[in-house]
Structure 1
Amino acid sequence: MKLLGEKHMAFEGLTERLQKAMEKLRRKPKVTEADLRETMREIRLALLEADVNFKVVKDFVKTVREKAAGAEVLKGLNPAQQIVKIVNDELTEMMGETATPLNKSAHIPTVIMMVGLQGAGKTTTAGKLAKHLKKEENARPLFIAADVYRPAAITQLQQVAASIDVPVFEMGTDVDPVEIVRQGMEVAKEKHNDYVIIDTAGRLQIDEQLMEELAKIKELAKPDEILLVVDAMTGQNAVNTAQGFDDQLDITGVVLTKLDGDTRGGAAMSIRAVTGKPIKFVGEGEKMDNLDVFHPDRMASRILGMGDMMTLIEKAQENFDQEQATQAMAKMKENSFDFNDFLDQMDQITKMGPLEDLLKMMPGMANNPALQNINLDPKQFAHIKAIIYSMTPEERENPDMMNPSRRRRLAAGSGRPIVEVNRMIKQFNQMRKMMRQVTNGNLSGMENLMGGQMPGGRLGKLAMNRMARQMKKNKKKRLKKKKR
């Protein structure tokens, strides 16, 4: 499991404190003005501790209080639920309401200029964006290496580009960056690249020389997008950086990096509210696949600990083999799910990302005590695989034949303690039993696993309805791609 730094803990505290404040309201049969004042105080402190801009916090709390203080809310049915909805809606509006697509040129190439301070992850983000465009649009991007100051900047871009099979135009470190961009644009037109991604130089801080150079590149390239890459871990400094770059360059959007683990929106909430510019992408992890379109409504749900079912569904649809998943569900229903199937499912799950991040996308699981007690060390997957690989083909297909002597042989063959072998087989049997209950329409097994926190009622129905709509949309998209 990742080690969480101080800033990570601050964002984790934001979710935890907001959840506690909301839970206090839910437990009250009637919400009074005093209850509302106390909740608003908790929300204000939670946001300030998460390093959200003071003015943003002040305006947010004022708006929520005004909307929640109406007699129709406090005296109506389920006032606590209505207040939670108001908080969720205001968080979403503060961060931009809906996802904002990239600006595109009417004629190729579409030019994207990447800007930001050193250390924010600009070059890596450029690579992630190029891979995203290749995957989503079958695009043919070209990188222009315009950072001639940072040691090995061009080499880093070339390495990133090679890993995703994207060409790089570079002229070394002795040529003026503006001239590099000019010639790179000519090459892109000759080669008919539909996207140009300009990797510009960064500095340790905003300075006049940096801004003059970026302004010249902007004037020459006339970019459709100026994406500012900022480190979400820097909190309030991220907002100051965004405002500084926006004042000088009129940026079109922001990419937040290092939003993995338990960082939950402090910078995101402030940047949009202060600059008015949309957050278009978020980076979560080091791999080239770890770039996601920013959805304000999903981030708001995560901040409130209500999960992020839409992203979880999309990850599953993207990484799971539909035929394999259907076969596995049928086997679970028949109770014939075996260790071979278990291996296949583990491989597909690990493609989706760290397991603890996936679990936190489920409603009610962000700070669920049951989740805190689960050991999510990635090495466990390797240990489980070692145990299963030590089985004979017959044993993999017949999990019920694992008697004590066979288990001892597995322990010796895999190099794992016998207690670990016993625990893995026990957990496998529990999972098989639980999944059989779920596939047969009995959710009690899942509820027990999650400590009674399985979302039901209104929230559960909402998640299921969203899932059905999203699956229909994704199916239509896949059909359109096939027709092309």
Structure 2
Amino acid sequence: MFNNLSKNLIKLINKIKNNKINNDKNIKLILEKIRLILIESDVVLKVVDIFVKKIKIKFKKYKKYKDLNLNKILINIIKKELINILDYKNNNINLPNQKKSVILLIGLQGVGKTTTALKLSKLIKNKYKKKILLVSTDVYRPAAISQLCKLALKNNISFLKYNNKKDPIYITKSSLKKFKKSNYDILIIDTPGISYHNKKIEFEIKNIYNITKPIETLLILDSMMGQSSIKIPKFLEKILKITGIFLTKVDSDTKGGVALSVCSIMKKPIKFIGTGEHINNIEKFYPDRIVSRILGIGDLKSLMEEVKNKIDQEKSNKIINKIKYGLNFDLNDFLEQIQYIKNIGGIKSIIDKLPFLKNKKKFNEKQFSNIKNIINSMNKRERSKPNIINCSRIRRISLGSGTTEKDVINVIDQFNYMNNMMKKIKGNNIKEIFKNLKNILPNNIKNLF
């Protein structure tokens, strides 16, 4: 989402690497460039003007230090000002320890409310150890309720389904009554998609809000909407009180201005972001970490948290022991490593959080799917003893996986290198591990390091 903003800011910062603060002409050009970058990133003009003005004031404070590096000063100033915009009051979700609570999800049609309801339910259940009850009042979108019901059951989330009921108010009242009598902690309600000119839905959502008295009312915003998203909060604030924002489709190629614009104008915190279609592609919003990613500083803290929360520690320990004692890896281990990468958001998500990459180009996740398909097309003996894979076996594996023979050979070569590398890294430091790690990655991302 922030790729455009991040790319241009990093480019500007690198360009002025050796410049000094005492050059007024340089500072003026930098401010003009920052203004242009923000406008191109779809940030509302009012927010752009305030942001540039604040940076200009901060620059004046540093002018007396003539020998200071302009590059470092700019990073420091931009980082602080971006955090000031994004860090509005409480970014934490409000979850009382003992009190039963309702969370209301509202938003326009097509912003991803249904998927968001499921992601949020699973996150709160697993991370905050709350018993979740999920219900949908979206009776207008065809199959919306049955879709959410199937996905909820698949992911072990309790769901209240009302067959043949077409009244959102009835569903709300009945669900609230059952929730109060149950042992569930949180009731999450997915509401009908709002449209600007549908007074009936507007009236129903207002009633749902008044009936449930939610502890959190999260506005679901599509990050691809750009500046038009600013109109939505103003429209909704007339009928209810929004407590926070859930930003969806953050993994898309959007310009990123919506986050800065909404936080600055609406004065509401972004609490969560959706980073992909998978149910686990949800992150708690940390303004300082997001800003670090934007400026290319990296976000290792979030990466470590994802590794801890989304990777099977028992299986991971087996791999660690193999590294520790210099034991042989097989292709089953290699396949598990690919799955670990997928579980923590894919290689793109990892790259975005790493601070030492020169340039963060687009990466095709399909290449990892190909590796998975190739290994899955092998039999048990081939996976445990890759050295037996000869030309005829390579031909069979390529046909079974829908890839070329060259692709199969590349996977085996990558595996052999990783196997040798794992034996060598025992006792070495993390820098050397990362230096060697790039050689087992697909060719199109080796040049990122």
Shorter-chain TM-score tier: 0.7 to 0.9
Match of 2:78 in 1: 87
Match of 2:442 in 1: none
The answer (yes or no) to whether the contact 1:98–1:296 under 8 Å persists in 2 is: no
Match of 1:385 among 350, 375, 396: 375
1:70-96 CA-partner distances (Å, limit 9, x unpaired): 235752544421220211121112111
- Where 2:239 maps in the other structure, the secondary structure is helix
Structure 2, unpaired ranges of 5+: 439-444
- Quick one: structure 1 residues 94 and 434, their matched pair in 2 at CA, closer, same or farther if it must change by over 3 Å? farther
1:425 paired to 2:408 = no
Match of 1:443 among 431, 443, 446: 431
Q: 1:28 deviation in Å?
A: 3.3
- Quick one: structure 1 residues 107 and 185, their matched pair in 2 at CA, closer, same or farther if it must change by over 3 Å? farther
Distance 1:438 1:72 in 2: 50
User: One-letter code of the match for 1:441?
Assistant: N
Of all paired residues, the percent bearing the same amino acid is: 31
1:274-321 CA-partner distances (Å, limit 9, x unpaired): 111111111122222222111111111222232221221111112333
Q: 1:379 deviation in Å?
A: 2.9
Match of 1:110 among 101, 104, 107: 101
Match of 1:413 among 396, 399, 406: 396
1:392-427 CA-partner distances (Å, limit 9, x unpaired): 46634xxxx57xxx5424412312544334433333
Distance 1:30 1:434 in 2: 46
The answer (yes or no) to whether the contact 1:282–1:292 under 8 Å persists in 2 is: yes
- Quick one: structure 1 residues 362 and 265, their matched pair in 2 at CA, closer, same or farther if it must change by over 3 Å? same
The answer (yes or no) to whether the contact 2:21–2:27 under 8 Å persists in 1 is: no
- Where 2:271 maps in the other structure, the secondary structure is strand
Distance 2:337 2:86 in 1: 35
User: One-letter code of the match for 2:407?
Assistant: E
Match of 1:155 in 2: 146
1:29-40 alignment, distance < 5 Å? 32-40=23-31
1:64-103 alignment, distance < 5 Å? 64-71=55-62, 75-96=66-87, 100-103=91-94
Match of 1:355 in 2: 347
Match of 2:310 in 1: 319
RMSD between superposed Cα atoms in Å = 3.0
- Where 1:70 maps in the other structure, the secondary structure is helix
1:345-389 CA-partner distances (Å, limit 9, x unpaired): 223222222222222221143834xx5588852332224414764
1:291 paired to 2:282 = yes
Distance 1:173 1:236 in 2: 37
- Quick one: structure 1 residues 183 and 376, their matched pair in 2 at CA, closer, same or farther if it must change by over 3 Å? closer
The answer (yes or no) to whether the contact 1:407–1:418 under 8 Å persists in 2 is: no
Q: TM-score, normalised by structure 2?
A: 0.86
Distance 1:311 1:172 in 2: 43
The answer (yes or no) to whether the contact 1:110–1:195 under 8 Å persists in 2 is: yes
- Quick one: structure 1 residues 96 and 199, their matched pair in 2 at CA, closer, same or farther if it must change by over 3 Å? same
1:124-203 alignment, distance < 5 Å? 124-164=115-155, 165-170=157-162, 172-175=164-167, 177-203=168-194
- Quick one: structure 1 residues 23 and 135, their matched pair in 2 at CA, closer, same or farther if it must change by over 3 Å? same
The answer (yes or no) to whether the contact 2:275–2:282 under 8 Å persists in 1 is: yes
The answer (yes or no) to whether the contact 1:230–1:242 under 8 Å persists in 2 is: no
User: One-letter code of the match for 1:379?
Assistant: S
Range that drifts further, 337-346 or 216-225: 337-346
Structure 1, unpaired ranges of 5+: 1-7, 455-484
The answer (yes or no) to whether the contact 1:283–1:291 under 8 Å persists in 2 is: yes
- Quick one: structure 1 residues 105 and 124, their matched pair in 2 at CA, closer, same or farther if it must change by over 3 Å? same
Q: 1:17 deviation in Å?
A: 0.8
Distance 2:362 2:174 in 1: 54
